[in-house]
Amino acid sequence: MYKKLQIALATVLVGASLVSAPAFAEPDKPECIAPAKPGGGFDLTCRLALSGLQEAKLLSAPLRVSYMPGGIGAVAYNAINAQRPGEGGTIVAFSGGSLLNLAQGKFGKYSENDVRWLAAIGSDFGVVVVRKDSPIKDLKDLVAALKKDPTKVVFGAGGTIGSQDWMKAALTAKAAGVDHKTMRFVAFEGGGEVLTALQGGHVQVMSGDAGEVVGLLKQNAPIRVIAVFSENRLPGAMADVPTAREQGFDIQWPIIRGFYMGPKVSDADFNWWAGTFDKMLASKQYADLREARGLFPFNKTGKELDAFVKERVAAYRKIADEFGLIKK
């Protein structure tokens, strides 16, 4: 009888423990690091997660957005690996540009295998932007100007030579039959700085992302998007913007936006975030937020995203090699 009571009590205690203990712990101080100054695509990515998680009521504590500019993501990537590898409450924004930089070895000794790829929350596309009063009215005008004298056209972009924004400018020069080494290019730390320089007349053309400018279009800012590097036209505020292909130039540049975590983050913390993002991405609230910011569905988490990232980095290495960007 005594042994039966012991067994019964043990069963109750174990059952109670399983019910009361959460499978994974929610972080009490969640943080999203945008690896650039405020106003660009990384900032947009963090703030989209902030709004999506909040509206779907998936976080008890608000997601804090912090900024770690430098090297278009290199400073943040190195800091997470060297100084903060096990922080279970910290996620870091990345884009297709981050993967391109990794492909070229721009993140120092670290590669695509040195972080935990968490979630992709949407896709974006490259765009070419000028001031509204610019004599360049479309992509054909820009190509003609480059052919006439590439030194008279100054591109501005959020990244140095070899970055994804530089690649978009280089592909535009290539479409004009111009050697990309002759084009004029000014590097900025993030899309927000480029837009300021463009509106101030310091550069003539911005090669950037749709998500960075869609909000400004809705506010009737003095800019004009002359081409989008997508297969088809984008809906909403950019519905009237023709694709490069429509204008006779086969240039496409899709961009993914998402997050990674440190290499030593526990499986419990990583799986909590992955599961939480799965719930957010499936919500109607998030779909509305994503559309409002000019992004398109691209939902991958955990192992599925990890496989995708590895495949894209390999493809970007091939493109970078074609432009002579990888040292032999």
pLDDT at residue 13 above 50?
no
> CATH 3.40.190.150 region(s) of the chain?
31-124+255-322
How high is the pLDDT of residue 2? 42
How high is the pLDDT of residue 135? 96
Strands (E), the chain: 31-34, 64-67, 90-95, 116-131, 154-157, 184-187, 205-209, 223-229, 254-261, 300-301
Q: Which residue has the tokens 């203990």?
A: 21
How high is the pLDDT of residue 107? 92
Q: What is the pLDDT of residues 317-326, one digit of tens each?
A: 988 888 888 8
Percent of the chain with pLDDT over 70: 92
Spatial distance between the Cα atoms of 26 and 32, rounded to a whole number of angstroms: 14
Q: What is the pLDDT of residues 55-97, one digit of tens each?
A: 999 999 999 999 999 887 999 999 999 999 999 999 999 998 8
pLDDT at residue 98 above 80?
yes
Percent of the chain with pLDDT over 90: 66
Q: Does 3.40.190.10 match the CATH number of domain 125-253?
A: yes
**Topology of 31-124+255-322 in CATH?**
D-Maltodextrin-Binding Protein; domain 2 (3.40.190)
Q: Give the rounded distance of the alpha carbon of 91 from its chain centre.
A: 13
Pinpoint the alpha helices (H) of 219-283: 267-281
Q: How many CB atoms lie within 10 A of CB 53?
A: 22
Pinpoint the alpha helices (H) of 70-209: 74-82, 96-103, 139-148, 164-175, 191-199
Which SS3 state, helix, strand or coil, does residue 254 take? strand
If we measure between CA atoms, which residue out of 32, 71, 69, 101 comes closest to residue 273?
32
> CATH 3.40.190.10 region(s) of the chain?
125-253
DSSP secondary structure, 61-73, as one string: SPPEEEE--SGGG
Could you tell me which residue, 123 or 189, shows the higher pLDDT?
Answer: 123
Pinpoint the alpha helices (H) of 183-225: 191-199, 210-218
If we measure between CA atoms, which residue out of 139, 159, 132, 288 comes closest to residue 213?
132
Q: How confident is the model at residue 43 (pLDDT cuts 50, 70, 90)?
A: very high
pLDDT at residue 20 above 80?
no
Q: What is the pLDDT of residues 244-273, one digit of tens each?
A: 999 999 998 888 999 999 999 999 999 999
Q: How confident is the model at residue 7 (pLDDT cuts 50, 70, 90)?
A: very low
Judged by average pLDDT, the poorest of 19-23, 192-196, 210-214 is 19-23
pLDDT at residue 14 above 70?
no
How high is the pLDDT of residue 22? 43
If we measure between CA atoms, which residue out of 50, 41, 39 comes closest to residue 289?
50
With residue 5 as reference, give the H or E element that holds it: helix 2-20
Could you tell me which residue, 235 or 221, shows the higher pLDDT?
Answer: 221
Which SS3 state, helix, strand or coil, does residue 33 take? strand
Summary mean pLDDT of the chain: 89
